[in-house]
Structure 1
């Protein structure tokens, strides 16, 4: 009979972590990578084939029922891998899993976060998805190296094996892309201080309420036809009003109450882009009538995890000028 601790850890992998890929089994969305140079711009080599990478990025990896009842030993884990019609079970040694289950503090992070660079090619760029990951790392106080990368300066291994996707977190020779995968990996293996709460319904509702903000913002800011601005601005404001109404019903100051969560770390960078871009490109401010949203902005923008992972408003403007095709030559 497997121990309650093992079962609990297995169930944690089944928790609502969209796109989470078990790093022990999959090394995804990519492969395990090995350093091939000790130079500052370390190159890495992906072990898995490119076909495997394509399948893994689109597949869903979940613990099978067999894993929950497996008594073959505490260091093995069985994963049911689904991609289209393909179903495959693998058993892998999982010492890192066992260390995580034993408690926080046993794993020593060796992290480097590759991310979009600003105009100079060296400073931190404006990507809100990188900001999400960066904010999580800052909140947890994990040591890591931040490596902003210009589009034409991406390492070969990142381009060849991960399609150049950033943010990309490398931890102990394992690489992960896509912000949701990265933060789920970090939250699982480095759980303290936690950014998760037991009230999964509250988290789901927070994600639902905030999900439309960035899309409506992008449509509004990218629009170059002044005649369409009133409608697009109204759409963006309607999404922000939904968030304000949600916050008004809550116990604040954050989306799910008194504690900062992953939902805040995901939403705060997008809100920062919204408030900055609406003012700069559309001469529009977030209405003072949205009092709860403004209180939230005051709280989240002053949080140490946000301030340590942020970038100046002019970097946001530069990034969106590129997206609009209106960057000064």
Structure 2
């Protein structure tokens, strides 16, 4: 069973209410008192604070455990959180939106399909799905995310993308598969001046983490007799750390009067997130969670560049709010690790 996040934007205050719908279809219900569009969740009443003639203000209702709430403020990205629906103040007009700015114009109709978690609804563990989720979020474009339960793939999706596993994407009704091709397509179609380019300036920013996930996979599969694989994994972390601590040409040029020895940039290619980060960060998060759980391995503290990079990444909603829950990662590798701890 797939779940679709339906977001309702309050244009005046930039706050939305949203929930995970079990059907995967965008169906709208309207409050008879204030005409507020309601998410279709059994037993959920209107989240508007009805005041004056409409009666006293009511607290926002508690969502079922499978539901989520979303919040958008103008000119910023959305964030996901569990628990309650945010109660927007009444405004005359609503639109369906997921992320981006208030000026929608003629934006494309985009729907991203990602792997569902073990409950069949929440976002599951899939670095490639998260990669595209981050790309769309960073682009600031309106889009919908639908989680797909691979154990009970709905007939509608079997007809839409036969033989295709997430991630895949509908762009104005046209099916796009292969996450690398999708990423290239989005970078071409969602281009300046309306949308930012996300390609890194330095090719090395893409290359530096190319082998780290493969080394991790070998490491965890051979646990506990994985000393050789651990050495190989640490070698890749050292390579990444050296790159993150080495000033980029742009940093040296911008600080020509200073003798910069160690970089202080936030991300792989500078102080903005790029496609290189969308590729590497989801993998680093999986490595961090699974290695500690099953192998007792933590990224060594002497890798200061790596830890600076991760700390900066965990401060960004585009990354943290697209991450699967830790338990999803742990369940993925439960039967992969040679020894479970």
TM-score, normalised by the number of residues in structure 2:
0.60
1:194 to 189, 193, 196: 196
Indicate the residue corresponding to 1:51 in structure 2: none
Q: Distance in 2 between matches of 1:184 and 1:214?
A: 21
Measure the CA separation in 2 of the matches of 1:175 and 1:217.
32
Per-residue deviation, 1:126: 0.7
Other-structure match for 2:215: 216
The 5 Å alignment of 1:15-94 reads: 40=24
1:298 lines up with 2:311 in the alignment: yes
Alignment check: 8 A CA contact 2:167 2:179 kept: yes
Structure 1 residue 268 corresponds to structure 2 residue 270:
no
The residue aligned with 2:183 is: 183
1:319 equivalent to 2:332? Answer yes
- Residue 153 of structure 1: aligned partner: 152
- Take 2:335 and 2:164, find their aligned partners in 1: how far apart are those partners? 18
Q: Would the alpha carbon gap of residues 281 and 128 (structure 1) be closer, same or farther in structure 2, given more than 3 Å must change?
A: same
Check whether the contact 2:199–2:275 (CA below 8 A) recurs between aligned residues.
no
Task: Supply the distance in 1 between the matched residues of 2:164 and 2:335 (Cα, whole angstroms).
Answer: 18
Q: Give the secondary structure class of the aligned counterpart of 2:131.
A: helix
How far is the alpha carbon of 1:124 from its aligned partner?
A: 0.4
Contact 2:219-2:229 within 8 A present in 1 as well: yes
Q: 1:280 aligns with which of 293, 310, 315?
A: 293
Alignment partner of 1:235 out of 223, 227, 232: 232
Kept in 2, the 8 Å contact 1:158–1:164? The answer is: no
Does the Cα contact within 8 Å between 1:278 and 1:285 map onto a contact in 2?
yes
SS at match of 1:182: helix
Instruction: Report the 3-state secondary structure (helix = DSSP H, G, I; strand = E; otherwise coil) of the residue aligned with 1:211.
Output: coil
Does the 8 Å CA contact 1:244/1:293 hold for their aligned counterparts?
A: yes
CA distance in 2, matches of 1:113, 1:220: 32
Taking structure 1 as the reference length, the TM-score comes to: 0.62
Deviations 1:47-106 (A, max 9, x none): xxxxxxxxxxxxxxxxxxxxxxxxxxxxxxxxxxxxxxxxxxxxxxxxxxxxxxxxx976
Could you tell me how far apart the structure 1 residues matched to 2:298 and 2:329 are? Answer: 16
| Distance apart, 1:326 and its partner CA | 8.6
Count of residues in Structure 1 that have an aligned counterpart in Structure 2:
224
1:289 equivalent to 2:302? Answer yes
Where is the helix percentage greater, Structure 1 or Structure 2? Answer: 1
Q: Secondary structure at the match of 2:151?
A: helix
SS at match of 1:147: strand
The answer for the alignment partner of 1:142 in structure 2 is 141
Please tell me whether the aligned partners of residues 135 and 308 of structure 1 are also in contact (alpha carbons under 8 angstroms): no
In 1, distance between residues paired with 2:317 and 2:24?
29
Name the residue aligned to 1:65.
none
Give the secondary-structure state (helix, strand or coil) at the position aligned to 1:154: coil
Gap regions ≥5 residues in structure 1: 1-38, 43-103
Q: How far does residue 158 in structure 1 lie from its aligned partner after superposition?
A: 5.0
- Could you tell me how far 1:182 is from its partner in structure 2? 1.4
Note if contact 2:148-2:166 (Cα within 8 Å) is conserved in structure 1.
no
Asked if structure 1 preserves the Cα contact closer than 8 Å seen for 2:114 and 2:123, the reply is yes
Corresponding residue for 1:247?
244
Q: Distance in 1 between matches of 2:236 and 2:172?
A: 40
* Deviation, structure 1 residue 222: 2.2
Q: CA RMSD in A?
A: 2.6
- 1:196 positional shift: 3.0
Per the alignment, residue 30 of structure 1 pairs with none
| Contact 1:122 1:149 survives alignment (8 Å) | yes
CA positional deviation for 1:153: 2.5
Inter-CA distance 213–107: structure 2 relative to 1 (3 Å threshold): farther
Unmatched runs of 5 consecutive residues or more in structure 2: 1-22, 27-102, 248-262
Q: Note if 1:258 corresponds to 2:271.
A: yes
Q: CA deviation at 1:292?
A: 0.7
